[in-house]
Amino acid sequence: MPPHKVTLKPDAVPVRCKARRYAPEHRAFMKKHVQELIDAGLCIRNPHSKWCSPPLIVKKVEPGDFRMTVDARQVNAQTLRMIWPMPIHEVIMDYLTDSELYFLLDFFKGYWQFLLSLECQELFSFLTDMGIFTPTRVLMGGSDSVAYCMPPCRRCSRNFSITGC
């Protein structure tokens, strides 16, 4: 599968956020998390990026457990979105009416499996107190991320009897 290529609107301009102050526990999490991303080749340090969005730290269920997202709303506002059929929950449930067995497949770290084209990586750069970092993989939260990732997921699950999603 070719890397994901984001198409910007003709009048798009680089997004630059200001540095933000984070709680000490959020900073500690970001430091560890970003280093893990770098070590895994999922992002690079990019002090010359013309684009940067703020990371958001979200609490998970377990106390002291966090998740980092990137606030890509300003990038998304300048993106020409891919057209694709967003699944409708009620329609999917109609397809499953006669099913006897149900199960859930977790797409754990799923978006990180998909490459982001080199010319689009800088668009999703994020600014922390440690510097600017640029992801090399598709980020959850990009306006086209789901549309790009769903077709290969459907191909992988085509042997299942779920034809509606």
CB 143 within 8 A of CB 81: yes
Kindly report the CATH number assigned to the domain that includes residue 106.
3.10.10.10
Q: Is residue 71 part of a domain?
A: yes
Q: Note whether 156 and 69 are within 8 A (CB).
A: no
In tens, the pLDDT along 90-144 reads: 887 888 888 887 777 666 677 778 889 999 999 999 999 999 999 999 988 888 8
Total of domains in the chain = 1
Token pair of 60, please? 């998970």
As a whole number of angstroms, the distance between CA 78 and CA 47 comes to 23
- Say if 3 falls within a structural domain: no
Instruction: Give the mean model confidence (pLDDT) for residues 65-76.
Output: 95
126-128 β-sheet, strand order: 43-45, 131-135, 126-128
pLDDT digit string, tens, across residues 82-104: 888 877 888 878 888 888 877 77
